[in-house]
Amino acid sequence: MFKKVGDLNVHYEVSGQGPPLVLVHGGGSRASAFEEMVPTLAKSFTVYIYDQRGFGETQRPPELKLTHPLWREDLQRIVDSLGLKQFALGGWSLGGGVCLDYTVHNPQRVTQLILIGTGSPRLERSDRSGFDRRRQLIEAGAKPEQIVAETFEFTKKAFSPYSIEHNPKAVESIRQEHLRNNPQSYLEMLKANENRPKIGDRLKEIACPTLVLCGEHDGRTPLPMSEDLNKAIPSSYLKIVPNCGHFYGFEQPEFTSHAMVEFLKAFGAVKERAGAR
């Protein structure tokens, strides 16, 4: 489905019935990153997924350029357009950063927060060499096929050994995602990530129950990142996802979604508001 929201024509999907749960995908991906998780989540919740500005099928003008504040504002406009007053919010990777930023600025809207493979704004980021190489290639005019050919080994290092050996479908799915990326939008994303919101000292303000999920072998946002989020956010809980790297919805969708459902039910997700759709 598509919905006109401000300067965007947003591609989004709604599934299930129950309290509202909004999910925000990671960089270089799209809403379909959650497609193997949605069936489990939709048994208990009304699940909203959408392609962020710069990704997937959401249509955007060339200006404004991608920034974290802009992604946060897009999220605000989208939930407003859907009639969601309060909702559970979850994000993966870059999407987790957007959700952190949104929750700090809109604490009254978020009933529960779920951070999946999310970096801590209080710590230095992990190895960025592959991203730096992608930036060089894009600035030199490379096409997606060349970019993926030269940098996908960097991506594969973010998978768990279990996935590399037993789940080649997950690896290929991410390769196909990268081939679909718009190079210029990806370049904007890389620049946006160099100017992440400096909200590390505000994490203590997050009062809602928060679940921090970390893959056992997540080398992109490794365990110390999740441990720091767990330490900084008062009502937070850390859970390790076994046999998982950084690509949760592709590597361990069932475990991840069940952990989310258990958390949300334990902390009493709000009842669905009238007009939520």
Note the pLDDT of residue 269.
60
With tokens 């559970």, the residue in question is 88
Q: pTM for this structure?
A: 0.95
3-state SS assignment for residue 126: coil
Note the pLDDT of residue 274.
33
268 vs 69 pLDDT, higher one: 69
**pLDDT tens for residues 146-204?**
999 999 999 999 999 999 999 999 999 999 999 999 999 999 999 999 999 999 999 99
**Other CB atoms within 10 A of residue 120 CB:** 24
Domains of the chain: 2-126+198-266 (3.40.50.1820)
Strand segments, DSSP code E, in 37-147 are 46-50, 87-92, 110-116
Residue 270 has pLDDT above 70, yes or no: no
Reading the block at residue 258, the tokens are 């069940």
Percent of the chain with pLDDT over 70: 97
- 209-238 mean pLDDT: 97
Would you place residue 277 in the very low, low, confident or very high pLDDT band (cuts 50, 70, 90)? very low
Side-by-side strand order, sheet with 20-24: 2-5, 8-15, 46-50, 20-24, 87-92, 110-116, 210-215, 236-241
**pLDDT tens for residues 54-106?**
999 999 999 999 999 999 999 999 999 999 999 999 999 999 999 999 999 99
**Other CB atoms within 10 A of residue 114 CB:** 24
**According to DSSP H, which parts of 28-84 are helical?**
38-41, 68-81
Note the pLDDT of residue 127.
86
φ, ψ of residue 99 in degrees (nearest 5): -65, -40
Identify the DSSP state of 210.
E
237 forms bridges with which residues in the sheet?
Answer: 211
φ, ψ of residue 64 in degrees (nearest 5): -80, 155
Note the pLDDT of residue 125.
85
Please enumerate in sequence order all residues whose Cβ is within 8 A of that of 108, keeping only pairs 6 or more positions apart, or say none: 86
Residue 108 has pLDDT above 70, yes or no: yes
* Interatomic CA distance for residues 38 and 217, integer angstroms: 23
* Interatomic CA distance for residues 219 and 217, integer angstroms: 6
Residue 228 in contact with residue 201, Cβ under 8 Å?
no
Indicate the average pLDDT of the chain: 95
